[in-house]
Structure 1
Amino acid sequence: MSPPPSSSSPSPTAPSGDQLPGEPAPVVPSAGPSRTLYVDSGTAIVRRRSGRVVVERPDGDDREECMSVPAVDIERVVLVGQVHCTSAAQRFFLEQGIDTIFLSWNGRLKGRLDSSSSPRSELRLAQYRAHDATGERVLLARAFIRAKLSNMQTMLRRYARRRSAPALSESADTVSDLKRRAAHAEDLDGLRGMEGQATRVYYEAWPLFINRSDPMFSFSERTRRPPEDAVNALLSFGYTLLLGDMQVACATVGLDPSLGFLHTLRRGCPSCALDLVEAFRPTVADSVVLRLLNECRIAPDDVKSRDEGVFLTRSGREAFYAAYEERRQTTVTPPGFGSPIAYHRAFEAQARMLARSLTSGADYVPFTIR
């Protein structure tokens, strides 16, 4: 079990510049710190007790209280595996607007409790219209891919300088060229093809990112469902946590998380959340994985083979939660913002940016770093 962090993030500011009459409203994400409670023990029971969230575990015929946190200190709860959350606790989370995310033991997103009772009808209608308008859909998909490729390119150039590795600079140049070509793609299939090429080039460079001699943490290619090695297990787990965050951001703003523009419409697929996740894969999830590896914060015992794949053990997941929360609290200045905000607020800011674009016709400004 991991308690919510006590650190806070600076209050966000709207994009710089005075708003002129008739201009879309500035994008301002919610202020304040994000506090996440992770419960990752198959025998744990999550209860409500007065105004507190209590985590217990069986102790013979009794129960041992292993954590008690004031509800006001929690914004999000992540329940992993077979954790039991009482119906009273679930009702309490819904009443208090505490987002609750359910993950499987192997890091698959199973679902979430959504307390949103009145989605913005005008936003949903605008989202549906944009999805059905081929030109607008391609325009948005280009922006999502441009941001992803731009941030992959930045990661490659950063590591090229750190490692003095010309091969990484060459990979960055290839991704840059594909980014320019993607900006002129006329259809989604062509755009997805260029994104796939750039992603392959990026992952082919990953062995040069990892400063770890242990063969347990070698990497050759991206594999998933199931991940075939330790590095892929870390990547998959990071992308799952990131997707959960983005689904919450979409719901907070009023977007339909399932109706995207780049990703296809499939039953149970949060396509819109996946669209917004693309820009944050390199800067958040990949950054966390590389920190865990290169700072030796993950050990061989933190992963294990199971069900024809490789997955994190509980100790590995706990190490990941800590590093992921550190990254969520790290500040960054999104394009158009006058001062830094925490990454977890940047997720919501991008969802708001998309909502503003859909309802007002303003250009969608994707999230990029330098």
Structure 2
Amino acid sequence: MKKLLNTVYITTEGAALRKDGENLVADVDGEERARVPFHMLASIVVFGGIYVSPALMAATSAAGITLVLLDRQGRFQSRIEGPVTGNVLLRRAQYKASDAPIEIVRSIVIGKVMNQRSVLMRSLRDYGDEYAPNDSLSIVKVTERLARIIRRVKLSDDTTDMLRGSEGEAAGLYFSVFDHLIRSPDPELCWTGRSRRPPLDPVNALLSFLYTLLTHDCRSACESVGLDPAVGFLHRERPGRPSLALDLMEEMRPVMADRLALSLLNRRQLRAGDFEIRDGGAVMMSDEARKTVLTAWQERKKEERLHPFLEERAPLGLVAYLQAQMLARHLRGDLDAYPPWLWK
């Protein structure tokens, strides 16, 4: 059980939650493991197969504490709450901010580009001695150009569209050297450019699968705090598109998805034979490869990092939920700005 931002996250499979007086109690294997007074809680987020007593549901609803149920993969299932007093106001603030989103977009772009740069710099530290001189020089030049983009985004009076252009420019630079980061001996596992719907090579198939998993987590995070996942800031709204979930995903994508993909390829946990070419040229992972990726995904989400804004250690799997909460607090006026998540 992890308590952050007045929210308790229950991730231990088979745990049982109950009410004891004015306290939330978490039991594991019949033994009490944690106890939190209701007055210290704003919400409870439950992952997977965890028992929640009816008495606790009634007590949290009466106390204005939101109970969010997610499945084992972190996909949103339901939210249990009493009479709603804040979600309507939060969503109205979200819709209003979407008409003039420049400062939120600026934060998201800064977070994404800084994390892309960190991925490249980490790769130089990990594999710098193995790179050909020209490859190493190319990566260094891209990190320098990304640093200039970060400074420009921080200091300029750009419009929202110009910030979107900076994000696209940074993505182009980042992926221009992505192939240098892949250390697999299989020539088929190379990067030639982004392709989707369908992915046309194994690396794109792997990235698309990981991006889908991350989008699910970010959508669940938005819904868990009462935000509308369809109304974003960086991504324009389209029917059926979870624009806000895609916004939250951007700053996490280089670390949560790209680095995991590189780890799986460079450690040779995935090889060329784990991918299949379907009719029309689409490339898909085999069933066994998907199991390998899902296992690695769940393990990666357990890793803890210091959250630079909260100054607390938190599992990577909770970052989306923390960021959604801070965005909600910013929209309500409790935070002056939305603080992006930065990987260090």
1:250-282, CA deviations, whole angstroms, 9 ceiling, x for partnerless residues?
111111100111110110010111111001001
Matched, 1:140 2:104: yes
Shift of 1:157: 1.0
Matched, 1:350 2:326: no
Q: Is the Cα contact below 8 Å between 1:157 and 1:172 reproduced in 2? A: yes
Amino acid at match of 2:221: A
Matched, 1:124 2:95: no
DSSP 3-state at the match of 2:284 = strand
In 2: Cα distance, 1:247 partner to 1:192 partner: 21
Partner in structure 2 of residue 155 of structure 1: 119
Greater share of helix: 2
Matched, 1:258 2:221: no
Identity %: 32
DSSP 3-state at the match of 1:231 = helix
Shift of 1:115: 4.3
In 1: Cα distance, 2:106 partner to 2:68 partner: 38
DSSP 3-state at the match of 2:338 = coil
In 1: Cα distance, 2:158 partner to 2:148 partner: 17
TM-score (norm 2): 0.76
Label 1:34 to 1:143 Cα distance change in 2 as closer, same or farther (>3 A): farther
Partner in structure 1 of residue 141 of structure 2: 170
Shift of 1:30: 3.1
Which of residues 263, 275, 283 is equivalent to 1:291? Answer: 263
In 2: Cα distance, 1:295 partner to 1:73 partner: 38
In 2: Cα distance, 1:29 partner to 1:276 partner: 19
Partner in structure 1 of residue 299 of structure 2: 326
Q: Is the Cα contact below 8 Å between 2:68 and 2:224 reproduced in 1? A: no
Label 1:317 to 1:172 Cα distance change in 2 as closer, same or farther (>3 A): same
1:26-47, CA deviations, whole angstroms, 9 ceiling, x for partnerless residues?
x3443332669xxxxxxxxxxx
- Which structure is richer in relative contact order (CA contacts within 8 A, separation 6 or more)? 1
Correspondence list, 1:199-348, <5 A: 199-306=171-278, 307-348=280-321
Which of residues 22, 41, 50 is equivalent to 1:72? Answer: 50
In 1: Cα distance, 2:234 partner to 2:179 partner: 29
In 1: Cα distance, 2:185 partner to 2:289 partner: 19
Matched, 1:31 2:4: no
Shift of 1:337: 2.0
DSSP 3-state at the match of 1:368 = coil
Can you give the 5+ residue segments of structure 1 that lack an aligned partner in the other structure?
1-9, 14-26, 37-69, 75-94, 103-110
In 1: Cα distance, 2:147 partner to 2:153 partner: 10
1:59-107, CA deviations, whole angstroms, 9 ceiling, x for partnerless residues?
xxxxxxxxxxx93289xxxxxxxxxxxxxxxxxxxx99344879xxxxx
| Farther off after superposition, 137-146 or 217-226 | 217-226
Matched, 1:11 2:2: yes
Label 1:198 to 1:230 Cα distance change in 2 as closer, same or farther (>3 A): same
Amino acid at match of 1:11: K
In 2: Cα distance, 1:100 partner to 1:263 partner: 28
Shift of 1:311: 1.3
Amino acid at match of 1:173: E
Shift of 1:222: 1.4
